[in-house]
Amino acid sequence: MIRPSQAFRLVYISWIMAKHGLDELLLSIPMFRPIRFLRHLMWWRLLRERDVPRGARIRRALEDLGPIFVKFGQILSTRRDLLPDDIARELERLQDRVPPFPGETARSIIEAAYRKPIDQIFAEFDETPIASASIAQVHAARLLGGPEVVVKVLRPDIAPVIRRDLGLMYILAGNIQRYWKEGRRLRPVDVVAEFEKNIWDELDLMREAANASQLRRNFEGSPDLYIPEIYWDYSRRNVMVMERIYGIPIGHMEKLRAAQIDFKALSERGVEIFFTQVFRHNFFHADMHPGNIFVTPDGQYIAVDFGIVGTLSNEDKRYLAENFIAFFRRDYHRVAQLHVESGWVPKETRVDEFEAAIRTVCEPIFERPFSEISFGQLLLNLFQTARRFNMEVQPQLVLLQKTLLNIEGLGRQLYPDLDLWQTAKPFLERWMSEQLGVRALANRLKDAAPQWSEKIPELPMLFHDTLQRARDGRLQVNSNPEELQRIRSEIRRANRRTVAAVVGGTLVLGAALIKGLDGYAPTMLAGVPLSSWVLGISGALVWLTLWLDSD
Ligand SMILES: Nc1ncnc2c1ncn2[C@@H]1O[C@H](COP(=O)(O)OP(=O)(O)OP(=O)(O)O)[C@@H](O)[C@H]1O
């Protein structure tokens, strides 16, 4: 059911879409058909630039619809596996820059979060933000103890706006899915659901602080990457305080050149850091846009903004590494086989057909020199192909592919001849050899060693205790209750069968004896020979026992 506030917003959305020439798209949805005539009242349709490409029109509409839609567009731009290229490229240009909220508001949010006046926390607090985005803004400050920090403050009242806009996105996505055949392929409702999860996560700065702490620990003492420290005592759900860093923004090539940075080494280090995060730490910074990366004069990277991170399962990592290696050997058969063996595509997929499809999309890529090949593009092509063969590409893999594209973009901007494969290959091959074969087994045993060293000293006592219980008849084996029940009724049945056999056998034997004696002088009971009584009763007993047995 649509609420009145949503209805107004829906009319506004329709208005904006019409303004950017997206009305055909909108009016193909039956819900909007009754207002089709409004189109003719929109005089600016006459002024509209008819030759503006559709991607640009969509981008402008999202910008007009506000920061939540802009954020949605940004995330959508990474779904190149779903979107046509022209639209994805335009959406990448969406800027998440919105007017800052007043510094005074930031101050009162901080005071409410700490329940004390701001001057009891900070010696200095700059009310003019360093940066302001749709979810939060960042202020420079200095703690009373002396260290320089930045304070990230969540936008006030952002949650209701997100809730309202998400509600509308679901309505639109539901209608697109229902009524627009071409749109169905894009799985709009799933896309909105994924966006919803991400955006709520970003509203908890404690989560971002925890991500930062984990990354900092992973790179403790590393000369390659520095992560600023989080001041936990001052971090809340809507306020986060961290060490202020100074570095040259990665996009400022002139400044990097002036600092005599070795661009080749820097770009290769970037790739290594990424692969280390994915394969060794299993935790990667997944928002690697240039605004979040800085470089120190001695060539060390610094990263900020930890709202989005990714992790991969061991299977995902194996999948990636094996696929990359097979790809670069141009062993498409192996790539196809890997997908079927691991169940990523249905078991009944024809390996030869899948192989041919992969070859078709990948061969043109290998036409170029290795130094120009993009891993991100390669993965993207693979995902697009695999999707045709019903592979559900997991969101964490899409996140990884997007980050890979960012890293490559940055790397090549720093050093256009960067040979990604040569940089990554030794790393991947080493990792694979650690996962497979004797070395992998040794590693796994080594990993399990601490548990073994705890358990082994307990073994003699355990052994002794078990034997003692067995001797005293106190040994109990715990199994699952259903299994125990099954075993119990089986034993009961066996017992009944034994009783039936013994009772039946004894009575029959008894009857035979009596019959033998009866032969000479039959003993009568109620006019029937005793042997017949015994035979009858034994038969009835055996029958009764067998009947009970059949439960
Ligand atoms: N520790 C820090 N030291 C110095 N500057 C920082 C620090 N953290 C963030 N900044 C500056 O603030 C800007 C915005 O920070 P951050 O990216 O964390 O905010 P955001 O709201 O997530 O923005 P966006 O979503 O646009 O990336 C950064 O690009 C950087 O210039």
ipTM computed for the complex: 0.96
State mean pLDDT over 105-113: 94
Helices 420-435, 375-388: axis angle to 10 degrees equals: 60
Is residue 136 lining ligand 1, measured as CB closer than 6 Å? yes
**What's the mean pLDDT in 327-354?**
85
Distance CA 48, CA 36 (A): 18
Question: Is the CB of residue 245 below 6 angstroms from any atom belonging to ligand 1?
Answer: yes
Alpha carbons 485 and 490: distance in angstroms, whole number? 9
Helix count (H) and strand count (E) of the chain?
Answer: 23, 13
Ligand 1 atom 14 nearest Cα: 131
Residue 52 neighbours by CB under 8 Å, 6+ apart: 21
Look at residue 290 in the predicted model and tell me its pLDDT: 82
Check pocket membership of 286 for ligand 1, CB cut-off 6 A: no
Residue 151 has pLDDT above 50, yes or no: yes
**Given pLDDT bands bounded at 50, 70 and 90, which one contains residue 285?**
very high
Identify the pLDDT of residue 503: 58
Whether the Cβ atoms of residue 127 and residue 106 lie closer than 8 Å to each other: yes
Residues recognised as catalytic: 287
Stretch among 18-22, 359-363, 401-405, 495-499 having the lowest mean pLDDT: 495-499
Place of tokens 């796994």: 444
The helix (run of H) or strand (run of E) holding residue 151 is strand 148-154
Q: Is 129 in the pocket of ligand 1 (CB under 6 A)?
A: no
Confidence of residue 56 (pLDDT cuts 50, 70, 90): confident
| DSSP-based three-state secondary structure for 289 | coil
- From the centroid of its chain, how far is CA 481? 35
**Residue 209 Cα, ligand 1 centroid: separation in angstroms?**
13
Q: What are residue 122's phi and psi, to 5 degrees?
A: -110, 140
Q: Please give the distance, rounded to the nearest whole angstrom, from the Cα atom of residue 422 to the centre of ligand 1.
A: 32
**pLDDT at residue number 521:** 56
Pocket test for ligand 1, best of 246, 305, 308 (most atoms within 8 A of CB): 305
Task: Assess contact for 261 and 310: CB atoms under 8 A.
Answer: no
Residue 388 · residue 342 · CB < 8 Å: no
Q: Whose CA is nearest to atom 9 of ligand 1?
A: 304
Structure tokens that stand for 453 in this block? 């060293």
Confidence of residue 237 (pLDDT cuts 50, 70, 90): very high
Considering the entire predicted model, what is its pTM?
A: 0.70
Q: What gap in Å lies between CA 103 and CA 262, rounded to an integer?
A: 40
- The per-residue pLDDT of the chain, averaged, comes to 79
pLDDT at position 546 is: 56
**Model confidence over 487-498: pLDDT tens digits?**
677 767 766 665
Determine the average pLDDT of the residues in 219-227.
Answer: 96
- Say which range, 20-24, 320-324, 394-398, 446-450, has the weakest mean pLDDT: 446-450
Tokens of 414: 């720093």
186 near 141, Cβ under 8 Å?
no
Instruction: Work out the average pLDDT over 270-285.
Output: 91
Percent of the chain with pLDDT strictly greater than 90: 25
Residue 284's pLDDT is 94
CA distances from 373 to 105, 327, 329, 517 (A): 48, 11, 14, 104
Q: What is the mean pLDDT of residues 536-544?
A: 63
> Which residue owns the Cα nearest ligand 1 atom 19?
305
User: Which atom, in ligand 1's list, is nearest to the CA of 242?
Assistant: 1
Per-residue pLDDT, averaged over 5-33, amounts to: 69
List Cα–Cα distances, 142 to 108, 139, 227, 232, 493, in angstroms. 17, 10, 18, 15, 80
- 33 vs 133, residue with greater confidence: 133
Average confidence (pLDDT) over 303-321:
87
Predicted local distance difference test score (pLDDT) of residue 243: 96
Identify the pLDDT of residue 551.
47
Q: Return the best residue to mutate from 77, 130, 204, 406 for the ligand 1 pocket (most ligand atoms within 8 A of CB).
A: 130
CB 534 within 8 A of CB 511: yes
The pLDDT of residue 476 is 62
227 is in an annotated binding site: no
Atom of ligand 1 nearest to the CA of 97: 26
Specify the ligand 1 atom closest to the Cα of 132: 21
Ligand-binding annotation for 514, yes or no, is no
When pLDDT is cut at 50, 70 and 90, the band that residue 520 belongs to is very low
Find the range with the poorest average confidence among 236-240, 361-365, 410-414, 476-480: 476-480
The encoded tokens of residue 511 equal: 């009857």
457 vs 301: which has the higher pLDDT = 301
Handedness of CA 128, 133, 136, 141 (dihedral sign): negative
Q: Is 434 in contact with 443 (CB distance < 8 Å)?
A: yes
- Average pLDDT of the segment spanning 162-177: 85
Residue nearest to atom 2 of ligand 1 (CA): 244
More confident residue, 110 or 145: 110
Q: Mutate which of 226, 304, 306 to test ligand 1's pocket (most atoms within 8 Å of Cβ)?
A: 304
Task: Report pLDDT for 516.
Answer: 53
Average pLDDT of the segment spanning 379-385 = 82
Of the candidate ranges 34-48, 193-207, 379-393, 527-541, the one whose mean pLDDT is the lowest: 34-48
Rounded distance between C-alpha atoms, residue 353 and residue 239, angstroms: 53
The response to whether 131 counts as a known ligand-binding position is: yes
pLDDT band at 339 (very low <50, low <70, confident <90, very high): confident
pLDDT level of residue 95 (50, 70, 90 thresholds) = confident
Q: In the prediction, which pLDDT does 251 show?
A: 86
Q: Of residues 502 and 8, which shows the higher confidence score?
A: 8
Average pLDDT over residues 89-103: 82
Beta pairing class for 524-525 and 248-249: unpaired
Residue 143 confidence (pLDDT) above 90: yes
In whole angstroms, give the CA distance from residue 397 to residue 311.
Answer: 9
Is the pLDDT score of 444 beyond 60?
A: no
